[in-house]
Amino acid sequence: MPQTMNPTTPSSQSLPPFDDVEKSTEKPEPSVVADPLEPPDGGAAAWMTLVGAFLAVFCSSGYVNAYGVYEDFFVREYLSESSSFQISWIGSVQVLFLGCSGIPGGYAMDHGYFRWVMISGSILLTFCLVMTSFCQEQKFWQMFLADGLGLGIAVGMLYVPAIGVLSHHFKKRRSLMMGLAQAGSSVGGLVHPIMLNNLFHGRLGFAWGVRVSALFNFVLLIIANLLMTTRLPARPKDTTLKKQLVYWKSFFTDKLYVLATLSVFILYCGVYFPTFFLQLDAVENGLSESLAFYSITLLNGVGVLGRIMPTIVVDRVGVFNMMIPCALACGILIFSWVAMKDAAGVISMAVFYGFFAGSVISLVAPMIAYLTPNVSDIGARLGVSIGIGAVGALIGPPVCGALLTSQLLWVRPVIFSGICVVASAGTLTISKLLSDRQTRRIMVAN
């Protein structure tokens, strides 16, 4: 008799339940994997890096903003046998390297040398300040090497990498975070002049005052280096310097960019005149030392508002519509310098010039960004443009010092600086007209 198949036989048991068959045919949903190279826009490491970048900018660009204190002290006391033309070269070299460092500093950072650059710059800044304290009176070449060339290279090594590393941690809020870090420049322009004036003219004197300043900055830079971190891998080694130079050279086929960069160069030739010479003029006009010593602090303090307020409305008003009036206002204020004879004049100059100069300088970056068709080129174009502008900052103050002479003939440097700044407003106006024409052509073509 044939056996009937039992439902419990192995053949029937090997068939899975219907529900299990249905589940097994379902395709698993792909899991979303976050890109490890995407900036997190927050987190402990990001915020610590922001604080570290602020401190690094405070000690580098912020210290350069205090050079007016050194200029006054050198001209009247420590280097009184040297001409204003010679002394102005010290601060001009600082500004030159602060601006030109965008090219080598960014290149080194992109190739994985951020930590070495920051540590080397911190040590060099401290070393140069200590060497400045040992410079002998009336020895210009000693002061130029230590406080000009050496310190200029040091602040240049610190400034650009400190700002650039924020792009490793922030994307959506990158511009805001960079703006907050760069505020360290203005805050340094407030703190350093007060500290240096009180140290130089107090019980400690110049030598020990500079040493205290060196220790103060060294401690802050140690904290800054401990706080800042990188996230992104270094660029491939096949990106040689020769290829990078060819890339930078291609920028100068854009006529609008060339004209805008020329405007920055002419502007920088004249715009730093009050920053270098306001305190000296205040002292020579018989103002009390307390008021004269705080003139640079007041100028830099109001500059904080000047750097922030225009950037809030620039996207609605237009970068050229903001930049041209600010440049004209700076030129008019420089021409009015010759009428500055009392405390009210010095305070007015510090307040109004600080605001408009801070505005026009802060609008350079939005202008270059507006004229750059490819977003990925903004950083490189801005670095080259500001580097060329820094050459103007190298030329302008020494020329003003030569025109000033030891007899302090203020009319001559005022005319030179005023013409430079007003001329930059003229070239900016031409840039605006060409940009508007180009925009209309594109709209018609579309």
pLDDT digits (tens, 9 = 90+) for 83-142: 888 888 898 899 888 877 766 766 677 677 888 889 999 999 999 999 999 999 989 999
Average pLDDT value over all residues in the chain: 82
Q: Which of 214-218, 263-267, 396-400, 415-419 has the lowest mean pLDDT?
A: 396-400
Q: How confident is the model at residue 18 (pLDDT cuts 50, 70, 90)?
A: very low
Output the CA–CA distances (angstroms, integers) from residue 67 to 195, 254, 283, in the order listed. 12, 36, 16
Residue 376's pLDDT is what? 57
pLDDT tens column, 314-345: 778 888 999 999 999 999 999 999 888 888 88
Q: How confident is the model at residue 37 (pLDDT cuts 50, 70, 90)?
A: low
Given a contact cutoff of 8 angstroms between Cβ atoms, the answer to whether 346 and 292 are in contact is: yes
> Which two structure tokens, joined as six digits, stand for 375?
């977003």
Q: Which of 153-157, 161-165, 286-290 has the lowest mean pLDDT?
A: 286-290
pTM for the model stands at 0.75
Would you say residue 2 has pLDDT above 50?
A: no
For residues 413 and 122, what is the distance between their CA atoms, to the nearest angstrom? 35
pLDDT tens column, 368-383: 878 877 755 666 777 7
Q: What percent of the chain has pLDDT over 90?
A: 35
Would you say residue 41 has pLDDT above 60?
A: yes
pLDDT tens column, 384-408: 888 888 899 889 988 998 898 878 8
Given a contact cutoff of 8 angstroms between Cβ atoms, the answer to whether 58 and 159 are in contact is: no
